[in-house]
């Protein structure tokens, strides 16, 4: 796919103000929702990083436009072992002083599946999706909507009134995570720079928000049962990943004891359970002794030692000062009570989030798993307060005549609400 020929004369845009507000204004003008915005990172200590809103889709840095810096970055980009995933969205920069908008495009271009982009920018991304980086650059040169948005953004709130061809001392560069690797995206380079494996950048998660149907992010971790690769741990089973604010805490002690009692019920459903707490293995080992003694159990499932909060950050489990200041100590947040139910395809099927003060109902989690697994086998949904063995709701996609062929009995309460008795082989309950 080719673009129209680039103009022969070098194009310059007015440089954007070095502020997140300037980038956000450009972005919002071309079709990005107001809920997505650039914000400042004021420092790299834990307390300041914890103030950054989650999730973080990308980071944009300002680098000095010195000859030494430019030469160094280009040399790294040209390294023979600089392997780049084909899923990285990248374009060249041929417009002078357009680095701010270029960084914005790189940040958004690599998050098209997670950020609801509409309007002019959605049209631009659709038009250039099969183009080369150079062809995308040529297309940007003739794209009036993006150029106008940049111009308006540059005109808003500038401390000075720069002209288009003014030399600038700093350069915007975007950083994104794609297929588990961190990439530096600078359109003045021939290609992206692969900075190596990364699930986070400066302890800020670079990820899409986890939704139902998302692939559960993989990770390696130390647990009370030894080191694991999470996806290998799941294997062909279902899994429940559930977090706890800290070891030696009262509510968590009762919860883990309850799960230990219910583990045979999870096993009957082909479900592996795995806990997480933000302490180290030594603490976990001592805490398990307390759990076993108080609850009269023998806890055998693994508990992840997530002292550095890498998994908690990956799964967006951390609490905030705004919600519960008692669950944030010295600026370091502990986890809330998160639950992720994951199927054998490694897809997230259920997400629950409880505050630290509220213990979870694990019978309800078992009930929800029964519903999920049943709806995978039969074209049904389950009504309010449903329990295994009770009547279900015929899925809206199934005509009533067809439903009567599938189920022993179908009762039509409303044209869109039809109850059905399950076949005999589905009447057997797991408990």
HSE toward the beta carbon, residue 421, CA cutoff 13 A: 6
Tokens in use for 10?
């070098």
**CA–CA distance, 184 with 189 (Å, rounded to integer):** 10
Question: Which residue among 79, 99, 252, 358 is the active-site one?
Answer: 252
Phi first, then psi: what are they for 377, rounded to 5°?
Answer: -90, -30
Q: What are phi and psi of 392, to 5 degrees?
A: -120, 180
SS3 351: strand
Q: Is 358 a catalytic residue?
A: no
Alpha-carbon distance 294 to 265, whole Å? 21
Tokens for 75, please give them: 């040399």
Is 370 in a helix, a strand, or coil?
A: helix
Per residue of the chain (431 residues), give pLDDT as tens: 223 333 345 676 766 666 777 778 888 888 888 878 887 776 555 566 666 676 778 888 877 666 666 666 666 666 556 788 999 999 999 888 788 888 889 999 998 888 888 888 989 999 999 999 999 999 999 998 888 887 887 776 544 444 444 555 667 888 888 887 888 899 888 889 887 776 554 444 444 467 888 888 888 899 999 999 999 999 999 999 999 888 898 999 999 999 999 999 999 999 999 999 988 999 999 999 999 999 999 999 999 998 877 788 788 887 655 555 665 555 556 677 899 999 999 999 999 998 888 889 999 999 999 999 999 999 999 999 999 989 999 999 999 999 999 999 999 999 899 999 987 777 544 44
* CA neighbor of 51 nearest in space, from 270, 328, 309, 287: 328
Cβ pair 115, 105 in contact under 8 A = no
* Rounded Cα–Cα distance for residues 79 and 422 (Å): 62
Q: DSSP code of 318?
A: B
Using only C-alpha atoms, the chain has a radius of gyration, in whole angstroms, of: 26
**Could you tell me how far CA 111 lies from the centroid of its own chain?**
10
How many C-beta atoms surround the C-beta of residue 96 within 10 A? 17
Helix (H, G, I), strand (E, B) or coil at 118: coil
Q: E-assigned strands of 179-237?
A: 181-185, 193-197, 200-201, 204-205, 220-221, 228-229
> What is the value of pTM for the model shown?
0.55
* Angle separating helix axes 20-29 and 99-109, nearest 10 degrees: 60
Q: Which two tokens stand for residue 313?
A: 């950050």
Q: How big is the chain, counted in residues? A: 431
Contacting residues for 75 by C-beta, under 8 A, at least 6 apart: none
- Of 228, 224, 236, 241, the closest CA to residue 281 belongs to 224
Strand segments, DSSP code E, in 104-231 are: 170-178, 181-185, 193-197, 200-201, 204-205, 220-221, 228-229
Half-sphere exposure of 187 (CA within 13 A, CB side): 30
Query: 231-282, pLDDT tens digit by residue?
Result: 999 999 999 999 988 889 899 999 999 999 999 999 999 999 999 998 899 9
189 alpha carbon, distance to own chain's centre: 28
CB atoms near residue 188 (< 10 Å): 16
Bin 196: left if φ > 0, else alpha if -120 < ψ < 50, else beta. Answer: left
| Longest Cα separation, the chain | 79
d(CA 40, CA 226): 39
Q: What's the token pair of residue 315?
A: 């799964």
């Amino acid at each position: 796919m080719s673009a129209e020929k680039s103009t022969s004369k070098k194009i310059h845009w007015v440089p954007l103000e070095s502020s997140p507000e300037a980038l956000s204004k450009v972005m919002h003008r071309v079709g990005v929702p107001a809920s997505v915005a650039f914000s400042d990172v004021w420092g790299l200590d834990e307390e300041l990083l914890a103030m950054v809103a989650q999730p973080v889709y990308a980071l944009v840095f300002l680098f000095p436009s010195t000859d030494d810096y430019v030469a160094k970055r280009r040399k790294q980009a040209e390294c023979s072992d600089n392997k780049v995933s084909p899923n990285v969205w990248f374009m060249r920069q041929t417009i002078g002083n357009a680095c701010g908008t270029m960084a914005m495009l790189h940040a958004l271009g690599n998050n098209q599946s997670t950020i609801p982009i509409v309007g002019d920018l959605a049209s631009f991304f659709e038009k250039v999706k099969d183009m080369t980086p150079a062809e995308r650059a040529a297309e940007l040169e003739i794209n009036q909507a993006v150029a106008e948005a940049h111009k308006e953004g540059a005109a808003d709130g500038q401390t000075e009134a720069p002209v288009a061809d003014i030399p600038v001392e700093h350069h915007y560069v975007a950083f994104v995570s794609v297929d588990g690797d961190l990439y530096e995206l600078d359109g003045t380079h021939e290609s992206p720079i692969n900075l190596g494996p990364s699930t986070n950048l400066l302890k800020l998660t670079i990820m899409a928000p986890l939704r139902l149907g998302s692939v559960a992010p993989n990770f390696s971790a130390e647990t009370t049962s030894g080191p694991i690769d999470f996806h290998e741990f799941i294997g062909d089973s279902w899994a429940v990943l559930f977090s706890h604010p800290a070891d030696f805490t009262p509510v968590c002690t009762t919860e883990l004891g309850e799960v230990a009692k219910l583990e045979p019920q999870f096993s009957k459903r082909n479900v592996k359970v795995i806990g997480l707490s933000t302490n180290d293995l030594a603490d976990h080992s001592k805490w398990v002794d307390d759990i076993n003694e108080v609850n009269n159990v023998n806890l055998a499932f693994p508990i992840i030692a997530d002292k550095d909060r890498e998994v908690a950050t990956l799964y967006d489990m951390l609490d905030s000062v705004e919600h519960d200041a008692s669950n944030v100590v010295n600026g370091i947040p502990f986890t809330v009570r998160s639950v992720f139910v994951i199927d054998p395809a490694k897809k997230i099927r259920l997400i629950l989030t409880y505050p630290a003060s509220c213990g979870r109902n694990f019978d309800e989690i078992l009930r929800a798993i029964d519903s999920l697994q049943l709806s995978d086998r039969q074209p049904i949904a389950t009504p309010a307060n449903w329990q295994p063995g009770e009547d279900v709701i015929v899925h809206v996609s199934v005509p009533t005549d067809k439903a009567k062929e599938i189920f022993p009995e179908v009762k039509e309460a409303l044209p869109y609400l039809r109850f059905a008795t399950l076949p005999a082989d589905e009447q057997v309950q797991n408990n």
